Amino acid sequence: MSTEKITITVDGKKITVPSGVTILQAAESAGITIPTICFHEQLTPPGLCRQCVVEVEGARRLQPSCISSVREGMVVKTDSEKVRRVRRTNLEMLSAVTDLSESPEIVRQMKQLDADEERFAASPRGSLKDDNPFYIRDYTKCILCMRCVQVCSSDIQFSYALAAGGRGFDSRIATFYNKDLPDTTCVFCGNCIQVCPTGALKAKTEGNSTGVQHDEA
Amino acid sequence: MNTLHEDLKKYLSGLREKKRSSLLPALLKAQELFGYVPEETVDEISRVLRVPPVDIYGVIEFYSLLYSEPTAQTIIRICTSPVCASKGSEKIKKALCEYLGVPEGTPSPDKRFMVESVQCLGMCDHAPSALVGEKTLTKIGSMKIPDLLTAAESKPENKVSGKNPVLSKRCCTGDPENIDEYLDSGGFGGLKFAMTMDEERILEVIKTSGLRGRGGAGFPAGIKGESTAGKREDIIRYVVCNADESEPGSFKDRVLLSTDPFTILEGMLIAAFAIKARKGYIYIRGEYFEQRRIFVSIIESARKRGYLGENIFGTGFSFDVEVRSGAGAYICGEETALFESIEGKRGIPRNKPPFPVTKGLFNQPTEINNVETFGYMTRIMENLAKNGDAKEYKPVSGTKLFCLSGDVVRPGVYEMPFGTKLKDLVFDYGGGIPGGRKPKAIVLGGASGMFVPEAMWDIPLDHEHLEQAGLVMGSGVIMVFDERRDILKIVLEIAEFFKHESCGKCYPCQLGTARQLEILKRIDEGAVEPDDCGKLEDIAYTMTNGSICGLGQTAGSAVMSALQLWPEIFKKEGVSVL
Amino acid sequence: MMKHEKTVRTTCPFCGVGCQLDLSIDQGRIVSVSAPENAAPNFGRLCAKGRFGTDYVHHPSRIRTPLIRKNLDSGKRTPVGMEGFREASWDEALDLAAERLSLAVKTQGADSIGTFCSAKATNEDTYIFQKFVRGILKTNNIDHCARLCHAASVAGLQKAIGSSAMSNAIAEMKNLDVFIVTGSNTTETHPVISTFLKEAVVKNGAKLIVIDPRKIELSGFAALHLQHRPGTDVAVYQAMANVVVTEELENRSFIDRRTENFEMYRKSLEGFTPELAESITGVKAVLIREAARMYAEAERAAVYWGMGISQSVHGTDNTLSIANLALLCGHLGKPGTGLNPLRGQNNVQGCSDSGGLPGIFPGYQSVADAEIQKKFEEKWNVTGLSKTAGLTVLEMSDAAGKGDIDTYLIMGENPMMSEPDLNTARKHFEQLKTIIIVDIFLNESGAYGDIILPAVPFAEKDGTFTNSDRRVQLIRKAVPSPGEAQTDWRIIQDLALRVEKKLGLPPSGGFAFQSASEVWDEMSGLVPAFGGISHQRIDREGGVHWPCPDPAHPGTPYLFADSFPRGRGLFTVLDCRLESERTSSAYPYLLSTGRVLYHWHGGTMTRRSVLDKIYPESVVEMNPLDAEAEGYEEGQRVSVSSRRGTIISRIKITERSPMGVVFMPIHFAESPVNELTKDLRDPEAKIPDFKQSAVRIAAAG
Ligand SMILES: Cc1cc2nc3c(=O)[nH]c(=O)nc-3n(C[C@H](O)[C@H](O)[C@H](O)COP(=O)(O)O)c2cc1C
Ligand code: SF4
């Protein structure tokens, strides 16, 4: 990051930031919070949830603020109707297919956007996998943010037990030929649990949302 | 079984690059040998190429032509994209499944056959079509079901019509694989002339020619070349030819590759010379078995004659081309997904920037162009060679290939000057609608394109006019549907296509393509809900504005254009459920 | 994402990485563990033990009250379970213990007592323990299991540079150029460190050289893997040094400025060619050359090693051979360089720092130095501290065998699992008159005890652990203790007061601490390197790397920038001794022992954790070709015998083991591998040769 400073306008506010920072960082420095889902400080931002998109004057499409760098004179709107429409629809679609009961941050964003969680017909996807003594993988809660895969592979752990499988809407978090975790290269570091934003990955000792402890036997 | 494993081991040990970038070829090899990719072979491949096994599994799952479970000796793939579907391919598929007594996707009890749907085979000019094993069958509508299983290959007729062909002047003139014939007709003249020129001048010529990419996005080819090029010799740069042609309704690249492959290769060489690239790839879609065979063979002869390899004609310029096969994923036509695929990964688009010209294949500057674009570069240089490189000479790129299919008398590839009117192409050159029926709809640009309102059917086909009208040229696809066709069904097939082909990376497209299809299906079944149009609009809006790549960004276009033209069909007679 | 009553920041109780943990607590129980993402040393990363293994804290078999053996003093000592003990009050148990200890001092002299402090306990626990042993009992017979893991690293590094601590911080690992990992299966023994090492390779293009007989996971990330025959380490490093000198790759200016004895050393390398080494080690000469060049030519290069280097009959020589190479190439005193023994247990560094060794007071201050002795006598308000270094762990066992020692005080150690040649060790143990145990569980050693004093684990007390890279970090009380269990240092403090009284000593007033932080403050007043560290400061900063002489000092993440503690680095001329046990036709396999990812040490904690479910029993790792030749199948039950004993285990077929070498974990009381190991010791470090025993394997019913 260079020491050179540039000036941009965010939501009508002129701010001066180091060149090279992202729009997300720049906004943050001005006290403007842009909602994010897949973004995680420690991981390579995949820029896939598109929840952090913003309107940049002159750009044809909305820009993902977590990976877009600021440019001198840039004019950014972080909360325009266009942006809100995309974010709202995005979450309405997400909530139709995912159990978000343990995703307080996403639920908060939905409220803030006035999103209707029942707008799209419920079509749950994924299932619960209980194949090891330590933690459960409840993929009905999975939002495919890929953090667990990043952590397990080349961002943190280099154990390569998880990868993205399937394609499109049927993408999922896969193990090698769908084996149970103990039969894979998983080392149960649980570093994936740490970054899971939705409670899909959870230590068994945590119990589920209803407070019932998962079987420990 | 054991000898198959030996075969694979031999193949692996013979690989020149024992790296992840050899993964897709290795998996295709295993698929070819075993009919699927068994777990043990993955372990072996993992060891040799040093790719984590689970990543390999993820790759297998991504590509439609790779299977992690046993299939059948022969897989029959029936094209179900809009044109083939409108010509009854669904019915044929059902009948075939009934005949074999197994549902789609399940091997027959004797493990000899398995039936599957496939998104556009690039055979729309011979619809309906199918792929039986590696054999192409065209116009299967008239065939008896059992014959389908055993029929001899019926190759499509590859020809280009139109007036004053420029790009296609050599197509269908002789043996496309014969390098002598190519040389006799002046082949490689463009390259030879280019090699006498300054690299910068070549790029400038291409720029002034106005050549725009023919793969869909229409980006000025000269600017792309310039941004990829650079003074420094020590930077690795790549030239990539995008021959993943999978846009429903598009088949021009198939015709070019089948009938004049040397022209494409020459274009790649010219581009490589101009940007100082040493290595090129041509990524040909997995289902184009024949075209891949042809290209491998012409590369071989070009190499023998010294047009590829080290120090070409003593100029110090070295270049070689590797042929890569896709594995059944439309998204791999997207340039960055294509790079990922060559690198041995799931074909997932990258976020841009960085653009390919700075960080492309293997993170190096890369010039990626469509087949047709490279072909045109050859013509531009040939023309320059003929006229001499004078400052005042203005090269032009004045024609374009169009893929006309559907309910027209003469479907096929047409090379037409820019500005040709849509209706002239359809009704004059194409011969209009067969059987004296009335036209109902024209889709321009393929699945990612739009329905053209009848009032605009006389629009001149060039970038300027189309852009003004909010339409897109895309790769030049024109699909015509007559009065018998059900627009909602066409829209449904398009939606089905996008749901099937979305890579699943970004939420708007991953979720949007699925929700869009679900709503359209429901409408088709008559269970309309009050806010359906509003939902479809929100979905399309979100995909268009929020998606990472062109797939998601256009996945709602056709639906929206249909909604505008025929709002009533989205409120289908059936009773509302509410 | 779940809500909890409270979250407590603390330090992991397992290996020497010293990961920071956030314990989520509900109703007095740890319900989940996460790691703070912006805190050294682990930056959000954990391994299975830290993440899931702390549930041992709540295990129902925790000792809840003091216990006294039912058949006390009735002939031959036999191991018993809980049923062999009766519950007692603290008063009764402590009085009895004090009685026994003071009686021993009075009748046979203080040196008839042997004491074991613990690398699992806090610095504060250790400090009080050694203060009691030295100041009240007046013996230096105090040692702990560092003896059994890194004593040779300590001895070698002390000799070469005068300091035995890891010279560089964990945080530097990501930015290495070239590094050697040797005798360490890092992904299993120091899992979080291994993630930084892998990151250095995968993300930052560092080159890794693995020098290890086993095909460990890290070799998959390595540029070179030198798979030498067990026990031939010195030959590998000597030959590498030979290459460096022959090809003139040594760092001349470093040698001139910072070292001594180079000429002698250079001469000693003559003739030690890679070809000669190949014949000894089995490693191709070209590989040795390549490794030597890679290490020598690197801008910055570091070496990391584990017990594969130290637990050897020539462990000190092994260490010295590595130190020689580092001095030769000048890879010391800068970030990304260094000599780094990876410490095994959470506080093995701290336990040594705090005086848990026979020859030193806290801060490595010699017991033989009159000045220092005076300083401690004054501060402790005692007289007559012993000037002679005490006995080491195994020497105490020997002395017990001979009857010179007949009373043991053991805090948080398990010699009946961790000592070599257990059959012999057990015999010695059985002869003791009194065994006093301070522990949280009744383990294999506790079963022999007379008086059991229930202590508490990391989650139930305050204090500090010092991790492998000398970072002093806090542990904080997070949950209540079961029954009457008490913090270790409080138990010892109470015991000290009672012994002091029974011995009729004038009250020193030195056992009246109210908090762990007060204990630390007394120690830091006596140890210059700790002068600037306090609990309050660690609380603010998360951790401080010693040396840190005063509160304004930032701490020292890497050492030796300008000089070594002994002045110049010393080159040592080495013989390539190959003295360990050899295979024979009767005992055709070499057995190596060590740790696995899911367990820890003698298993006292992890076998009582959910971790046991994923790795519930002992295995013998065997090469596929050996297994095929022997006709063994995966999971087959076998007996493994050495000249000293026989145990039962199961075959695990894996390419990790080279041919002719088998590996067994040390954690399983049902298959105690130390029945097989031998008590052959490194002459200087007195560390036993755990890694090399000749065994035979036979099918078992
Ligand atoms: C989903 C998707 C599929 C694409 N498929 C193709 C294709 O099959 N062939 C092609 O040339 N370009 C395809 N493209 C366009 C490429 O991304 C890229 O723009 C093109 O290869 C550039 O070459 P050009 O400038 O010569 O058109 C596709 C784009 C998207 C978003
Ligand atoms: S728009 Fe669709 S195809 Fe493109 S990256 Fe997003 S999910 Fe993948």
Closest by CA to B80, choosing from B557, B433, B501, B395, is B501
Distance from chain centroid for Cα C154: 11
CATH of B404-570, one of 3.30.360.10, 2.30.40.10, 3.10.20.600, 3.90.1150.10: 3.10.20.600
pLDDT score for A209: 40
User: Domain boundaries in chain B?
Assistant: 2-62, 74-150, 160-393, 404-570
The answer for residues whose C-beta is within 8 angstroms of residue C658's C-beta and 6 or more apart is: C213, C214, C215, C227, C623
pLDDT score for A213: 41
- Could you tell me if A160 lies within 8 Å of chain C, comparing CB atoms? no
Closest by CA to C562, choosing from C333, C253, C339, is C333
pLDDT band at B232 (very low <50, low <70, confident <90, very high): confident
CATH of B74-150, one of 3.40.30.10, 3.10.129.10, 3.40.50.720, 3.40.50.300: 3.40.30.10
Distance from chain centroid for Cα B117: 17
Q: What is the maximum alpha-carbon separation in chain C?
A: 71
pLDDT score for C602: 86
User: Which residues line the pocket of ligand 1, CB cutoff 6 A?
Assistant: B 213-217, 219, 242, 244-246, 330-331, 333-335, 368-370, 373, 549-551
Contact yes or no for A71/A78 (Cβ under 8 A): no
Element housing B75 (H / E): strand B74-79
Query: What is the distance in angstroms between the Cα of C202 and the nearest Cα belonging to chain A?
Result: 7
**Position B578 pLDDT exceeds 60:** no
Query: What is the distance in angstroms between the Cα of B250 and the nearest Cα belonging to chain A?
Result: 22
pLDDT score for B577: 41
Q: Which of A70-74, B168-172, C109-113, C380-384 has the weakest average pLDDT?
A: B168-172
Mean pLDDT of B417-437: 96
- Interval C178-231: pLDDT, tens: 999 999 999 999 999 999 999 999 999 999 999 999 999 999 999 999 999 999
For residue C83, count CB atoms less than 10 angstroms from its CB and return exposed for 0-12, middle for 13-18, buried for 19 or more. Answer: exposed
Kindly determine whether residue A187 and residue C187, on different chains, have CB atoms separated by under 8 Å. yes
pLDDT score for B1: 54
pLDDT band at C262 (very low <50, low <70, confident <90, very high): very high
Nearest ligand for residue B243 CA: 1
- Interval B108-119: pLDDT, tens: 999 999 999 999
Mean pLDDT of B414-439: 96
Mutate to test the interface with C, among A134, A136, A204 (most CBs of C within 10 A): A134
Instruction: Report the residue among B339, B340, B503, B543 best suited for mutation to probe ligand 2: largest number of ligand atoms under 8 A from its CB.
Output: B503
Kindly determine whether residue A160 and residue B512, on different chains, have CB atoms separated by under 8 Å. no
Inter-CA distances, A140 with A77, A125, A128, B509, C91, Å = 34, 6, 7, 19, 57
Domains and CATH numbers, chain C: 6-58 (2.20.25.90), 67-144+346-461+485-528 (3.40.50.740), 151-342 (3.40.228.10), 589-699 (2.40.40.20)
**B160-393, which class in CATH?**
alpha beta
Q: Is B548 in the pocket of ligand 2 (CB under 6 A)?
A: yes
DSSP 8-state class, residue B316: S
**Position B575 pLDDT exceeds 90:** no
Strands (E), C117-206: 142-143, 178-182
Distance from chain centroid for Cα A119: 21
- The CA B332 to ligand 1 mean position distance, Å, reads 9
pTM tops 0.90, yes or no: yes
pLDDT score for C167: 86
User: Domain boundaries in chain A?
Assistant: 5-79, 82-113, 128-203
DSSP 8-state class, residue A141: G
- Interval B360-369: pLDDT, tens: 999 999 999 9
Mean pLDDT of C618-626: 97
Buried (b) or exposed (e) across B534-571, using 16+ Cβ within 10 A?
ebbbbbbbbbbbbbbbbbbbbbbbbbbbbbebeeebbe
**Position B183 pLDDT exceeds 60:** yes
Mutate to test the interface with C, among A98, A157, A214 (most CBs of C within 10 A): A157
pLDDT block averages, 10 residues each, chain A of length 217: 85 95 96 97 95 96 96 96 98 97 96 96 96 97 98 95 98 98 97 96 76 36
* Fold for the domain defined by A5-79: Ubiquitin-like (UB roll) (3.10.20)
| Architecture of the A128-203 domain | 2-Layer Sandwich (3.30)
Please provide the average confidence, as pLDDT, over all residues in chain C: 95
Q: Give nearest CA residue, ligand 2 atom 6.
A: B506
Q: Which of B295-299, B447-451, C141-145, C166-170 has the weakest average pLDDT?
A: C166-170
Contact yes or no for C396/C686 (Cβ under 8 A): no
Mean pLDDT of B408-420: 96
> Which chain A residues have a beta carbon less than 8 Å from that of B55?
153, 160, 163
Kindly determine whether residue C31 and residue A41, on different chains, have CB atoms separated by under 8 Å. no
- Could you tell me if C613 lies within 8 Å of chain A, comparing CB atoms? yes
Mean pLDDT of B503-514: 98
CA distance linking residue B107 with residue B35, whole number of Å: 11
Interface partners of chain B (CB pairs < 8 Å, 3 or more) are A
Neighbours of C490 (CB within 10 A): 20
CA distance linking residue B419 with residue B26, whole number of Å: 45
- Could you tell me if C58 lies within 8 Å of chain A, comparing CB atoms? no
Q: Is B536 in the pocket of ligand 2 (CB under 6 A)?
A: no
- CA closest to A185 among chain B residues: B54
Task: For CA atoms C213, C216, C218, C224, give the dihedral sign.
Answer: positive
Element housing C151 (H / E): helix C151-160
Please provide the average confidence, as pLDDT, over all residues in chain B: 94
Nearest ligand for residue B447 CA: 1
Closest atom of ligand 2 to B507 CA is 7
Q: Is the peptide bond before C547 cis (omega within 30 degrees of 0)?
A: yes
CA distance linking residue C292 with residue B402, whole number of Å: 64
- The CA B563 to ligand 2 mean position distance, Å, reads 23
Q: Which residue type is seen at C217?
A: E
pLDDT score for A3: 75
Q: What ipTM score was computed for the predicted complex, to two decimals?
A: 0.94
- The CA B467 to ligand 1 mean position distance, Å, reads 18
Three state DSSP letters for B15-61: CCCCCHHHHHHHHHHHHHHHCCCCHHHHHHHHHHHCCCHHHHHHHHH
- Interval C599-613: pLDDT, tens: 988 888 999 999 999
CA distance linking residue B258 with residue B172, whole number of Å: 9
Nearest ligand for residue B326 CA: 1
> Which chain A residues have a beta carbon less than 8 Å from that of C199?
156, 158
- CA closest to C48 among chain A residues: A189
DSSP 8-state class, residue C659: T
- Which of A103, A190, A204 is opposite residue C48, by nearest beta carbon? A190
Q: Is B547 in the pocket of ligand 2 (CB under 6 A)?
A: yes
Query: What is the distance in angstroms between the Cα of C611 and the nearest Cα belonging to chain A?
Result: 8
Q: What is the DSSP string of C565-588?
A: TTBSEE---------S----SSS-
- The CA B349 to ligand 2 mean position distance, Å, reads 7
Q: What are the structure tokens assigned to B422, written together? A: 């849509």
pLDDT score for B393: 66
Chain B interface, Cβ < 8 Å to A: 39, 42, 52-55, 57-58, 61-62, 68, 329, 346, 348, 351, 499-508, 510-515, 518, 522, 531, 535, 538-539, 541-542, 544-548, 553
Q: What are the structure tokens assigned to C493, written together? A: 């403090």
**Position B424 pLDDT exceeds 50:** yes
> Which chain B residues have a beta carbon less than 8 Å from that of A185?
52-54
> Which chain A residues have a beta carbon less than 8 Å from that of B531?
119
**Position B572 pLDDT exceeds 60:** yes
C474 SS3 class = strand
Query: What is the distance in angstroms between the Cα of A203 and the nearest Cα belonging to chain B?
Result: 23
Nearest ligand for residue B550 CA: 1
